[in-house]
Amino acid sequence: MEMDNELTGKVRHTQLKLRGLTIAQVLEEFDGRIMGLDHEKRMAKYRKMRTSPYLFFRGSAYLFYFDVGREWFPYHSDPERLTWIQGDLHFENFGSFRSEKGRIVFDVNDFDEGCMGSYLYDVLRMSVSLFLAMSEKELPAEEQRQVVYEYLHAYVKQIRKYAEREEDPRFLVFDEQSTKGPVRKLLRKMEKLAASNLIAGITTLDDKGRRVFQWSEEIQRPTKAEKKMVMNGWAAYTEQRSIQTGMPESYYRVKDIAVKHGSGTASIGLDRFYVLIEGDTGHEGLDDIVIEIKEVRAPVPAYFMPYNEAFWDSFAHQGKRAITTQQAMHHEADPFLGYMTLNGRHFYARERSPYKKKLKTRKFEQLKDWIKTVECMGQITAKMHARADADVQGGLLPYHSEDEIVRAIGKDADAFCDYLTNRAFSYAKQVVEDHLLFKEWSEALEQEQAAPVIVES
């Protein structure tokens, strides 16, 4: 018996050692070589990722795709007829914002990783994130499984409606009238919010009565070089927007520029700026608008997906790819979407909406709160996949993605939901284990870099 225990211990030790080496190599490749993050930025990112398995999952999308991209799944769609996917779908990438028609809606609000791939990666990544989010709330395992199953069931039900042409994905919008539970409560709260609240919270009046940014830990003064860089790309952006909106140049007059820190997990290390513009002239500038300019790189999933030459020919500019993904997946996209090149790097611009808000799971009191929320999220996921295809004017896909997805799922929806629920549950457990290995590795890496170098005389 002692020999068996010793052998079992060696096997387990070797498994953990090999997994730890895999995690380290993948993170070194992406955060180090590809992203080129310096030590300070990497450690800032890793400290955030060490906080919880969920944040580790958010910050290591490349590890997820490294794992599942090499795995066989029975429900993949035809690799020759791919879906335009969001690429980094997780619970906190859903939220409220103001659409181009001025109404407050609930939808996905991050499209940095949009690219071509199997629809299955979106629904699996979202399902894993649900398990991790619910584990933080200490929901019983069976309730967690029920919630994920309901998300998948809502997805299948909605995608079938599109495939059968019962509904049109171009016109599905989730607002206060069409939602329930926590999502409706969030939208009601946002409807009552004054647009000026954001401006008042992050700006102030200078000694000449002009509205400018108020400096803080998150909103910092740019260097002269950073300010010049943003302004060099601003004319091209405003020209794009003026043609689309018909607004005069004065509408886009820059009043102030700031460097934005402290947002996101995966995007740590990428530059982000806030630009305060005139908008409509009003009392003390409280109707000014904040434009967020965000650096974007090639999407993580693309490193693990079949190469689609037509897609990359059309979207060599990563800012253009990000905003086109949002426009393709949203019925009512942000009216300030645009892209620019700054010092040879790719950026995109969008409104920093005063109505942008995530759901707070701490306010989920009952199981039904989770179920009503994920049913809405399942429908939105299906809507995204069905919209970003032949329905998009000038789109790359000559076919309807919903037809391909329904064909891949097959007739037995329960079998599909059961399979994905079990696979997501299993991978979520792997994430929890990976998080412990990551903490050990990243803490050692930080200490190693911090250790003083002793030079022998």
d(CA 234, CA 130): 39
Which pLDDT does position 327 carry in this prediction? 87
d(CA 450, CA 306): 40
Burial 114-136 (b: 16+ CB within 10 A, else e): bbbbbbbbbbbbbbbbbbbbbbe
Which pLDDT does position 395 carry in this prediction? 63
Helix (H) or strand (E) holding 107: strand 104-108
Which pLDDT does position 2 carry in this prediction? 56
Q: In what order do the strands lie in the sheet with 272-277?
A: 219-220, 254-260, 272-277, 289-295, 345-351, 338-342
Contacts 24+ apart (CB under 8 A), 63-72: 63/23, 63/26, 63/27, 63/434, 64/125, 64/128, 64/427, 65/121, 65/300, 65/301, 65/303, 65/304, 66/22, 66/26, 66/304, 67/427, 67/430, 68/121, 68/124, 68/427, 69/304, 69/305
DSSP state of 257: E
Placement of tokens 């399979």 in the chain: 419
d(CA 328, CA 107): 13
Closest CA to 315 of 122, 113, 121: 113
d(CA 223, CA 231): 12
Placement of tokens 């037995």 in the chain: 412
pLDDT in tens, the chain (457 residues): 555 777 788 888 899 999 999 999 999 999 999 988 889 989 999 999 999 999 999 999 999 999 999 999 999 999 999 899 999 999 999 999 877 677 889 999 899 999 999 999 999 999 999 999 999 998 999 999 999 999 999 999 999 999 999 999 988 889 998 999 999 999 999 888 877 778 888 899 988 888 999 999 999 999 999 999 999 999 889 887 877 777 887 889 999 999 998 666 767 778 999 999 987 755 555 678 899 999 999 999 999 988 878 888 889 999 999 999 988 888 666 778 999 999 999 999 998 888 888 998 888 989 999 999 999 999 999 999 999 887 776 567 889 999 999 999 999 999 999 999 999 999 999 999 999 999 999 999 998 876 665 555 4
Q: Based on the number of CB atoms within 10 Å of its own CB, is 167 exposed (0-12), middle (13-18) or buried (19 or more)?
A: middle
d(CA 457, CA 453): 13
Largest CA distance in the chain: 82
CA atoms within 13 Å, Cβ hemisphere of 438: 27
Q: What backbone torsions phi and psi does residue 83 show, to the nearest 5 degrees?
A: -105, 150
d(CA 69, CA 146): 26
Sequence-ordered list of residues with C-beta below 8 angstroms from that of 318, at least 6 positions apart, any chain: 296, 297, 298, 299, 346, 348
Which pLDDT does position 292 carry in this prediction? 95
